[in-house]
Structure 1
């Protein structure tokens, strides 16, 4: 399911398994992937790597996904970079809190390759629509 459009994607998750699965799925979809294992690592990589899309776990040590997303969104360079929250919880409260800090989408773990690539495709389509 490659679109011919390669996106620079950052995956932030403290679970090595989730990071590796996401990396494999995204690379199979033709995307460039950078990994971060916590919020602080993510902030450094966002600045250096300038991803076009960020998948961010909610429950992480030190800096959780909500805090990480809020900090990214406060930086005007990255305010328009889409953030998709990853969580094992599918609660209304979690989704609402994610939207409050600026995330555009919410994906429940465990996700499938198709769900992950569809989430990316949605933002590829949005970006092409604004060109």
Structure 2
């Protein structure tokens, strides 16, 4: 499935403490017609999630205050968001990191730096997952 075959606009939250990563993801996803929400850390993300109920979440692992694993676990602990796919978005790509992401509830793992194609392929793969 290509980016152009995504059936509808998806509301996507990108959580990353890097302004560059947030802007890149916002540009790639926005150009593909998706609604993009941004948060610079896990605490800010929890407020955005409560207010906007995103369909898909990309979450950095290495963030100050509340890391991506903790953020993902908190999202998944809420029954309302248990079915919402969370993709760990990180430079950490070891088997340990991937396993830890799965254990906290992540659906996928996308390694930084990511390409536009890889980001949109991830959206396409998870957009059809019922929320």
- What TM-score bracket applies, with the shorter chain setting the length? over 0.9
RMSD, aligned α-carbons = 1.2
Q: Give me the TM-score of the superposition, normalised by structure 2.
A: 0.94
User: Match for 2:86 among 78, 83, 86?
Assistant: 83
What is the number of equivalent residue pairs in this alignment? 128
Which residues in structure 2 correspond to 1:74-113 (within 5 Å)?
74-113=77-116
The structure 1 segments of at least 4 consecutive aligned residues displaced by more than 4 Å after TM superposition are: none
Deviations 1:78-117 (A, max 9, x none): 0110000011121000000000000000000000000000
Q: Mind listing any 5+ residue stretches in structure 1 that lack a counterpart?
A: none
1:20 maps to 2:34: no
Which residues in structure 2 correspond to 1:1-131 (within 5 Å)?
1-2=3-4, 3-127=6-130
Q: Mind listing any 5+ residue stretches in structure 2 that lack a counterpart?
A: none
Q: Give me the TM-score of the superposition, normalised by structure 1.
A: 0.94
* Paired residues of 2:56 and 2:127 also in contact (CA < 8 A): no
